[in-house]
Chain A
Amino acid sequence: MASNAAVISVRDLVVGFGDVTVLDHASLDVFEGEVLGFVGGSGAGKSVLMRAIIGLLPRRQGTIQVFGTDPAHADENQRRSIEQRWGVLFQQGALFSSLTALQNVQFPMREYLQLSPRLMDEIAVAKLEMVGLGTDVRGKFPAELSGGMVKRVALARALALDPDIVFLDEPTSGLDPIGAAEFDQLIRTLQRTLGLSVFMVTHDLDSLHAVCDRIAVLSEGKVIAAGSIETMLASEHPWLKSYFHGNRGRQITHRIHH
Chain B
Amino acid sequence: MSAAALDATADGTNVALTATGAWTVERAAELERIVDAAARRYQAAPSIDIDLAKLERLDTFGAWLIERLKRTLIAAGATARIVGLSDSDRGLIEELRLVNQVAAQRHARPNPAVAALDSVGRAVAEMGWSLVLIAHLLGALTMAALRTITHPTRLRLTSIVHHLERVGWRAVPIILLSTFVIGAILAQQGIFRFRSFGADIYVVDMVSVLVLREVGVLIVCVMVAGRSGSAYTAELGAMKMREEIDALRTMGLDPIEVLVLPRVIALVIAVPLLTFLGSMAALYGAGLVCWLYGGMAPEIFLERLREAIWLPTFEVGMIKAPFMALTIGLVACVEGFEVDGSAASLGQRTTASVVKSIFLVIALDGMFAMFFAGIGM
Contact = CB atoms under 8 A, between A and B. Distances in A.
A115 B344 contact: no
A113 to B, nearest CB: 6
Contact of B340 (A127, A143, A161, A193): A143
A126 B64 contact: yes
A55 interface: no
A162 B342 contact: no
Interface string B314-355: 000000000000000000000000001111110000000000
A97 B104 contact: no
Contact of B91 (A139, A162, A193): A193
A130 interface: yes
Given A129-B99, A141-B341, A121 B106 contact: yes
Nearest to B32: A119
B7 interface: no
Contacts of A35: none
Given A142-B341, A143-B340, A162-B61, A125 B103 contact: yes
B77 to A, nearest CB: 22
A164 to B, nearest CB: 10
Contacts of B29: 113-116, 119
B341 A126 contact: no
Contacts of A123: 28, 60-61, 64
B64 A98 contact: no
B321 to A, nearest CB: 38
Contacts of A114: 29
A115 B91 contact: no
Interface string B242-260: 0000000000000000000
A97 B342 contact: yes
A5 B132 CA distance: 65
Contact of B100 (A102, A113, A129, A161): A129
Contacts, number: 81
Contacts of A115: 28-29, 32
A203 interface: no
A117 interface: yes
A195 B24 CA distance: 13
Contacts of B99: 125-126, 129-130
A102 B91 CA distance: 24
Contacts of B95: 130, 193
A96 B96 CA distance: 26
Q: Interface SS of chain A: helix, strand, loop or mixed? A: helix
Interface in A196-230: none
B32 A98 contact: no
B113 interface: no
B60 A127 contact: yes
Contact of A121 (B28, B92, B104): B104
B375 interface: no
Given A123-B60, A124-B104, A194-B59, A116 B341 contact: no
Contact of A102 (B32, B64, B104): B104
Contacts of B91: 192-193
A129 B342 contact: no
Contacts of A130: 60, 95, 99
B234 to A, nearest CB: 15
Nearest to A97: B342
Contacts of A143: 340-342
Interface string B20-55: 000011001100100000000000000000000000
Given A115-B29, A123-B61, A130-B95, A162 B24 contact: yes
A139 B345 CA distance: 17
B240 to A, nearest CB: 11
B98 interface: yes
A117 B103 CA distance: 12
Q: Which of A116, A126, A195 has the most CB of B within 10 A?
A: A126
A138 interface: yes
Given A121-B106, A143-B341, A193-B92, A126 B60 contact: yes
B304 interface: no
Nearest to B68: A122
A123 B92 CA distance: 13
Which 8 pairs show the lowest CB-CB distances between chains A and B? A143-B341, A97-B342, A98-B344, A193-B91, A162-B59, A121-B104, A129-B99, A126-B99
28 contacts: A96-B343, A97-B345, A102-B104, A113-B28, A113-B29, A121-B104, A122-B68, A123-B28, A125-B100, A126-B64, A126-B96, A126-B99, A126-B100, A127-B60, A129-B100, A130-B60, A130-B99, A135-B102, A138-B105, A141-B341, A143-B340, A143-B342, A159-B60, A161-B25, A193-B91, A193-B92, A193-B95, A194-B92
Given A113-B25, A119-B28, A141-B342, 19 more contacts: A97-B344, A98-B345, A113-B28, A115-B29, A116-B32, A119-B29, A121-B104, A122-B100, A122-B103, A124-B104, A129-B100, A130-B95, A138-B105, A139-B105, A142-B342, A143-B341, A161-B25, A162-B24, A162-B59
